[in-house]
Every structure is written in structure tokens, then in C-alpha cells.
Amino acid sequence: MNQAIDLKALWNESGVQAVLDALDAELVGLAPVKRRIREIASLLVVDKVRREFDLQAGTPSLHMSFTGNPGTGKTTVAMRMAELLHRLGYSRKGHLVAVTRDDLVGQYIGHTAPKTKEVLKKAMGGVLFVDEAYYLYKPENERDYGQESIEILLQVMENQRDDLVVILAGYKDRMDTFFRSNPGMSSRIAHHIDFPDYRDDELAAIGELILGGWNYRLSPRAREVFADYVRLRRTQPHFANARSVRNALDRARLRQAHRLLEGGAAVDKAALQTIEAEDILQSRVMAAVAQEGGR
């Protein structure tokens, strides 16, 4: 075969760009992650063309590791990756099955294998996303059955990699320890992608996107207060990036609803849609700051 193939045309026809555009719309920031996803998509498009020219190099290994703190978009990217693989013909179904240790590991002898195999059966033809994957390995407990699940996963990742992509996710330091303890698993992971924490301005922008999806908006003063809230909240324990922002805005909606009802006045559409500064200032984070300032 000597004819040239237009890679850009193939890219456009595949619908991959639509998936990447959706990822851009869904997730603020994460430029390194998005760039890596685009590179993987590019490899797969080029691989399809190489096959047209009888330049087979074997099916690319697509198992991945997503590392980062909670709320950094790992599950969302995994869902889009499943869609991308389907559009390019690297998965039959394009679905995502998200699980944790509890879905894979049994509590008694003979329970783990059927549990793990059932999950794998559901995931075949798509992507298996194992969150907090390091909990599968508990060397301090001799009676733990997580290692059995790991062995089954290893076999499937090697022998059925043409029909299943496995993505392991979790905190970076714990995943590094997990891979050191399970070199067989590490050797099967082709793509290690680290998800950075969001900056303050990115978290504020995420908040605006979340509210827009709910048909709410921040008043100008509330926008200023929310920026202060984000800056303060991220210094506190159990901060989970976009997840914490979503939870904070959920609570702001509760306070807004209570304020409108207790106000006793008729409300218009604008009032129903607007989160005011006081709805955020009444949060525990901001109230603690106000209390400190009053001492």
C-alpha cells in the first residue's frame, strides 16, 4: 500500500476531538493530564494507520495508573478515556466499571475469585477503574485475600488486554508503594498520569461551573467571598479539591433556601438563582475566621 492517508481527516472522522472538547468543558485546568490524553489518542490514531500499511507493532498497552488527591478529576477522565477508546475501535463497548476493594475481595476462603471474576466479566469490552487500588494489598494481614484478586487481575491484564483496559487510581505515595510491592502489576502499566491539585483560581472557576450546571450563580460580592473561602478551606484537613468545592456549594444552596423562606417576601427568578455573600459567610470556615477576628 503506497497511498498517503490524511491523519487529521481520520482524527476528525473518529470523533476523538469531541471527546477531548467534552473533557475541556467538564474539567478546569489539568493541562498536563489533558496533554497526555491527547498524546495517547494520537498514538492510537497513528497505530490504526500503521496497520493499514502492514506496520504492526502489536496492540499498544493501554493499562494506566491515575495518581493524585481526591477531587482532581480522575474518575471523569477515566470515563472519557473509555469513550475515546470505543470511538477509536480499541474497546467493544466503551463503558466504565468503577470499583473499590470491597467489590473485588471476599471475606472468606473461596469468596474472592468469584467476586473478582464477576467484576471483570462486567468490565470486558470496556474499562475497569479500580479506585484506591493500594487497599488490595495488605501484607500485614496474613489472612487477607487481596493478593488473590491481584493475581487474577494480573492474568487478565496480560491475557485479555485486547478486550479490557484497567486503570488503577489513588494517592501517589500509596500507589508508588503498591507498585514497588507488586512489580508484576507495575510492569503491565504503560501510562502513569499524575493529577495535580487545583489552584485557588481554578477551584473558584470549578465552583462557577458547578453552580451553572445547577442553574445558580454567585452575586459579585459572593464571588469575592467564595474566593476567600476556597483559599482558607484548602489549608484545612480533609480537603478534596473539586469535591470539597461541590460540597461547600451544596451547603450554600441550603442556606440560600432557608434565607429566602425565612425572609417571607415574594421571590423572583433572579433571587432563586443567586447565591449571596451571606450564604457563604455563614459556613463554618468563614464563621471561624470571623470569630478569630472578633477576639
CB neighbours of 261 closer than 8 A, spacing ≥ 6? none
Rounded distance, CA 56 to CA 113, Å?
35
The predicted-structure confidence for 220-244, as pLDDT tens digits, reads as follows 999 999 999 999 998 888 899 999 9
pLDDT band, very low/low/confident/very high, at 2 (cuts 50, 70, 90): low
Query: Looking at residue 204, what is its pLDDT?
Result: 95
pLDDT band, very low/low/confident/very high, at 291 (cuts 50, 70, 90): low
pTM: 0.88
For the chain, domains (ranges, CATH) are: 7-195 (3.40.50.300), 200-293 (1.10.8.60)
- pLDDT above 70: residue 189: yes
